[in-house]
Amino acid sequence: MTFSLESLLTGFIGGCLIGLGSLLGLAVSGKVPGISGVFARLLKRATPDKPWRILFLAGLIAGAFLVFCLGNPTHSVPGGRTWPVYVAGGLLVGFGTRIGGGCTSGHGVCGIGAGARDSLVATLVFMTVGAATVAAWNVIFSAS
């Protein structure tokens, strides 16, 4: 697999914007903008700060929608899988974020940036297990 300078630069700029967005969210709200925590606390009745959580999640969805509508039409959802597979994957990710005390955005972007050792460990575990899962998937399904 080869990478162009443009794709590397795009990834770098995107990563910087994610980090700056996380820093801005923390500075403005005083809360870590990890997606699983934002969503989980939105579901609790006694959460007094629901408006910013709703706006945060709405902004994520609106941003993804805009990128989908205005972006490169060659980018699409990978084919070859059915909706039940995507739903099961989403449920497993949600379950994993509760077990892991947060998601990759919370631990990887916000936690490591704040110097939390448990976030560094969690992110290393997430990435290692993710890479192992992809490798196993490719071995199992390329053999058939």
Helix (H) / strand (E) element for 63: namely helix 50-70
At 108 the pLDDT is 84
Q: Are the beta carbons of 42 and 58 closer than 8 angstroms?
A: no
The values of phi and psi at residue 122, to 5°, are -60, -45
At 62 the pLDDT is 92
Q: Tokens representing 85?
A: 């597979």
Token pair 């980090």: residue? 19
Q: What is the pTM of this model?
A: 0.61
Averaged over 95-107, what is the pLDDT?
80
Q: Tokens representing 99?
A: 């077990």
Over the stretch 5-35, which tens digit does the pLDDT of each residue have? 888 888 889 888 888 888 887 788 777 777 8
Q: Domain residue spans in the chain?
A: 8-142
What residues have CB less than 8 Å from 54, skipping those under 6 apart? 42
Helices 35-42 and 83-99: crossing angle in degrees, nearest 10, is: 90
Over the stretch 37-73, which tens digit does the pLDDT of each residue have? 888 888 888 888 888 889 988 998 898 888 778 876 6
